[in-house]
């Protein structure tokens, strides 16, 4: 969990970090990465439950690509895999504000990535609950580690049932912060409404 001050005279602190989804929902953090100057791209996604437990992951190395194309590819792949796994409630988070904006406004017929937006829209209109939102990069560190590692892999797609070593430390950090938050919340609630805990 990172802390940054707001830009005001009161200097109020704001927490930025991975946050849990609601129980019964699966959170998918996605990311795309391109090596500067080389156009070598990779993208990936990490599936976690409301407790922060790793459920699955994927890594795709498409070769040459732009950053936005890699980000869009990650979102599209996350939707396809989530549907294949028969998930019904999904929250997708990306640190690409441009990608999230294009998907949510959907009116991009003349945009170079209009095809991606249309494909993603088709998935969103299926019979399930899906949200796609933007987060800070600092809250996306697990999948960022995954995509960085992806540059060392050969071309192709990989489905990951278990956590990669490069993801263990950031995943553990998210898990510890989440459990601390849950523990404090439950203690606070028990003081107010002990019969509900």
Q: Are 58 and 77 in contact (CB under 8 A)?
A: yes
Q: Give the separation between CA 34 and CA 97, rounded to whole angstroms.
A: 16
Query: Is the overall model pTM greater than 0.75, yes or no?
Result: yes
Q: Give the separation between CA 43 and CA 49, rounded to whole angstroms.
A: 21
- What is the biggest distance separating any 2 CA atoms in the chain, rounded to whole angstroms? 60
**pLDDT score of 4:** 45
Q: Give the separation between CA 167 and CA 87, rounded to whole angstroms.
A: 23
pLDDT band at 132 (very low <50, low <70, confident <90, very high): very high
Alpha carbon separation from 195 to 63, 155, 179, 181, 189 (Å, rounded): 57, 55, 22, 21, 10
**pLDDT score of 59:** 87
Domains of the chain, residue spans: 26-164
Q: Give the separation between CA 41 and CA 157, rounded to whole angstroms.
A: 12
| Per-residue pLDDT tens over the stretch 1-11 | 444 444 555 55
Which is the CATH superfamily of the domain at 26-164?
Answer: Ribonuclease H-like superfamily/Ribonuclease H (3.30.420.10)
Q: Give the separation between CA 82 and CA 34, rounded to whole angstroms.
A: 24
**pLDDT score of 47:** 93
**pLDDT score of 1:** 44
| Per-residue pLDDT tens over the stretch 154-171 | 888 888 787 767 666 667
Burial of 7 (0-12, 13-18, 19+ CB in 10 A): exposed
């Amino acid at each position: 969990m990172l802390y940054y001050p707001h830009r005001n005279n009161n200097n109020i602190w704001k927490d930025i970090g991975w946050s849990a989804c609601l129980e019964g929902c699966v959170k998918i953090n996605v990311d795309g990465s391109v090596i500067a100057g080389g156009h070598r791209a990779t993208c990936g996604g990490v599936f976690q439950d409301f407790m922060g437990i790793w459920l699955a992951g994927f890594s795709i190395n498409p070769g040459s690509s732009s950053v936005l194309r890699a980000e869009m590819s990650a979102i599209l792949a996350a939707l396809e895999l989530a549907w294949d796994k028969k998930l019904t409630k999904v929250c997708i988070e990306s640190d690409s504000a441009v990608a999230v904006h294009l998907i949510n406004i959907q009116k991009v017929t003349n945009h170079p990535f209009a095809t991606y937006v249309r494909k993603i829209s088709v998935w969103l209109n299926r019979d399930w609950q899906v949200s796609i939102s933007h987060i800070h990069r600092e809250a996306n560190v697990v999948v960022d580690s995954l995509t960085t590692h992806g540059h060392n892999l050969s071309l192709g797609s990989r489905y990951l049932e278990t956590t990669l070593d490069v993801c263990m430390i950031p995943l553990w950090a998210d898990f510890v912060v989440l459990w601390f938050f849950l523990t404090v919340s439950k203690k606070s609630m028990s003081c107010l409404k002990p019969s509900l805990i």
